[in-house]
Amino acid sequence: MDSKPASIRLVLDGLSALLSPAAILSLAGLWISYRVLIALYNISPFHPLARFPGPKIAATSYLYEAYYDWILVGRYGTVIREMHERYGPIVRINPDELHCSDPLFTDEIYAGPGRIRDKWQHQLNTGGAGPVSVTGFSTVHHELHRMRKGALSRFFSRQQTLKLEGEVLDFAQMTTDKLLRSSGKEPFNIKEAFNCFTADVISQYAFSESMGFVAQEGWEPNFATWVRSFFKSAYMMRHNALGRKIAQVLPMMADYLGEDVKNVMRQMNVVIPGHIKKALNDPDNGRVFADLVQSKLLPESELSMYRLSGEGFNFLLAGTETTAATLTVITFWLLSKPAIYKRLMEDLKGLTPDTLKWTELEQRPYLWAIIHEALRVMPGVSHRSARIAREEDLVYRSQDGKVEWVIPRGTPIGMTSMINHWNTDLFPNPDRFTPERWLVDGQPNYKLQKFLLSFGKGSRSCVGENLGYCELYVMAALMAMRIIPRATLFETTIEHITYDHDMIVLQTKKGSISVRIKID
Ligand code: HEM
């Protein structure tokens, strides 16, 4: 008798035995027992974080965090704030992670490049899959991140940003010209105008070619419109391994998915690579990607189109909504508090819209104060971001000496801007928008600035901080000079910019922040 059919029969018999209801039940039972054993270990005295305070339910399994962040959408931040009120400055917020609410410990957690700080894969899972998962931002290991960020940061130095600030002013002028052309027309959300401005600035800066959002008819759609689905799926991705696997094959299925997902895939896999290819083919391009490839700062393996596209997409992802949201908050307060606007105009005396310079604007104390107050209440990332001190235990001592903890090496520990920026010792009456809190004798309080987490801190902080600041100064001043005198708020209250939960970036009760204005 032929041995082949016999072996196939053997395999089929084995498979049907495996798939029998009894076998499936036993496998499920085994899996549940395994999960229960892990949960018991998590709350046992043998777990390295056993002595840290926090609710037992949070330490038992990831289901508690997943419930608040995934099912209720981005609401774990509020739960963490309540844990600190009950248990103190260091709390255990899930089986493996600690959270700190003491701003004085910031530089230990988010240390500079000389001390090893890894990121944590569990949190990076929010990025899903595809090119964006191989960027510097998404790199776990300190050493690999250092190489990746080191190669990029020289393009975003203060020197380099100063060289290109003329382009920022040009786009800001184009944006305000277009805003003025909408006078007498329907009210609109000013955040969309800023989304167009910031996306055009970054694409021009990085590829030497803007994405043309300011020049298009109207303000929507723009890059932020398309990446909304990316933020919406963030927590599902973090807690759902199957979701991440599906995301890996999404590019092939993009045409069969909803418009949003299709568009975000198109940006990541077609539009951004297209800009980068064009830049690489132009010997005189001189911008980030062309220079990066020519300079040989990175080994060949780091320069694949796949990885470069990820970095390009990430620049837009990280630099569009963040800066736009801060500008939106500034616009809201200039329109709703005439006293703030009046004092700002006194501060800007002697400047003309056509020749604004970032370095000059930084010297205006009240503008400086408004920008920092806006960055406080509207930080780039309102979700926590953990770091792992791989090779050193961190020693925490509260200022009054009453609390002391040794955080074991290898433990993810993070902070949340929405908690630090609401610390009442540093920022009394934190719900109020008070630029004056940033001034001492009318001059910038740079010591207070060190407590801002808006751009992150240490080795993993924002690479685009200088460009972000340049955009904020130039656009805020131009808005004050050209648009605010002719604009009014339309059906917008403080609720439209107030934190309720996060989708990595701040969300209000009504969703993304939105400030509708009318220009006369
Ligand atoms: C107001 C403006 C901005 C704010 C508040 C902001 C905020 C942040 C924050 C908080 C992080 C760190 C996230 C973490 O801890 O995991 C970050 C990282 C980053 N940002 Fe920004 N950002 C701004 C503008 C920009 C711009 C204009 C760019 C343009 C290139 C940019 C590019 C990046 C990149 C590439 C990273 C990842 C850095 C790394 O880990 O190597 N950002 N940003």
Atom of ligand 1 nearest to the CA of 136: 41
Report CA(319)–ligand 1 centroid distance (Å): 6
Write out the H or E segment, with its range, that includes residue 188: strand 188-189
Dihedral (Cα; 443, 449, 450, 455), 10-degree rounding: -150
Report CA(202)–ligand 1 centroid distance (Å): 12
Q: Residues comprising the binding site?
A: 462
Q: What is the DSSP string of 380-441?
A: S--S-EEEE-SS--EEEE-TTS--EEEE-TT-EEEE-HHHHTT-TTTSSSTTS--GGGGEET
Whole-number Cα distances in Å, 329 to 332, 378, 414: 5, 7, 26
Q: How far apart are CA 154 and CA 161, in angstroms?
A: 10
Q: How far apart are CA 387 and CA 110, in angstroms?
A: 7
Per the structure block, which two tokens stand in for 465?
């901080």
Q: For residue 157, how many C-alpha atoms fall within 13 Å in the half-sphere facing its CB? A: 7
Q: Residues comprising the binding site for heme?
A: 462
Report CA(157)–ligand 1 centroid distance (Å): 13
Residues within 6 Å of ligand 1 by CB: 136-137, 149, 202, 314-315, 318-319, 322-323, 326, 379-381, 385, 454-456, 460-464, 467-468
**Residue type (1 letter), 315:** F
Q: How far apart are CA 183 and CA 479, in angstroms?
A: 14
Report CA(441)–ligand 1 centroid distance (Å): 32
Nearest CA to ligand 1 atom 24: 319
Dihedral (Cα; 199, 201, 204, 210), 10-degree rounding: 50
Q: How far apart are CA 398 and CA 90, in angstroms?
A: 10
Q: What is the pLDDT along the chain (520 residues), one digit of tens a residue?
A: 455 677 788 888 777 777 788 889 999 999 999 999 999 999 999 999 999 999 999 999 999 999 999 999 999 999 999 999 999 999 999 999 999 999 999 999 999 999 999 999 999 998 767 888 899 999 999 999 999 999 999 999 999 999 999 999 999 999 999 999 999 999 999 999 999 999 999 999 999 999 999 999 999 999 999 888 778 888 888 888 887 877 776 665 555 556 777 788 888 889 999 999 999 999 888 899 999 998 888 999 999 999 999 999 999 999 999 999 999 999 999 999 999 999 999 999 999 999 999 999 999 999 999 999 999 999 989 999 999 999 999 999 999 999 999 999 999 999 999 999 999 999 999 999 999 999 999 999 999 999 999 999 999 999 999 999 999 999 999 999 999 999 999 999 999 999 999 998 999 999 999 999 999 9
Q: How far apart are CA 455 and CA 29, in angstroms?
A: 47
Q: How far apart are CA 39 and CA 303, in angstroms?
A: 42
Atom of ligand 1 nearest to the CA of 380: 5
Locate all alpha helices (DSSP H) within 348-392, ordered by sequence.
358-361, 365-377
Strands 404-407 and 394-397: antiparallel
